[in-house]
Amino acid sequence: MKTTPEHDEGVAKMTFASVYPHYITKIEKKNRTLDELHQVIEWLTGFDENKLQELIVEKATFETFFQEANLNPNAHLIKGVICGYRIEEIQTPLTQQVRYLDKLVDELAKGRKMEKILR
């Protein structure tokens, strides 16, 4: 599934700080913890809690966020549909990486076991 250039640009310019509170709300509603959220983010990006806070304070865009990330070599195993897009078919690498993160947060919120989330 192809995304539009406008969609990809919107994703790239969005700040991690603007989305992070939504991740927290989503997982806490389903009785998951902030520690679990941070574990999932660290698995995907290599960012520990201190680095996440630094990126939030800097108001880093997703473009910067993923440029600085050390993407997990198993990230390509994240599959499924998120926001109407099949992740494995997204052709723009940055948009795909953001959707990887969205999918992991979704799986966490849906109660999936951590060992399944962290492929």
Task: Convert the pLDDT of each residue in 90-104 to its tens digit.
Answer: 999 999 999 999 999
Task: Delimit the domains of the chain by residue range.
Answer: 5-111
pLDDT tens digits, one per residue of 106-118: 999 999 999 999 9
- Please give the share of the chain, as a percent, with pLDDT higher than 70: 99
pTM of whole model > 0.85?
yes
pLDDT, residue 10, reads: 87
15-19 long-range contacts, CB within 8 A, separation 24+: 15/59, 15/60, 15/61, 15/62, 16/55, 16/56, 16/60, 16/61, 16/62, 16/65, 17/55, 17/56, 17/57, 17/59, 17/60, 19/62
pLDDT at 11: 87
Q: 5-111 is classed in which CATH architecture?
A: Orthogonal Bundle (1.10)
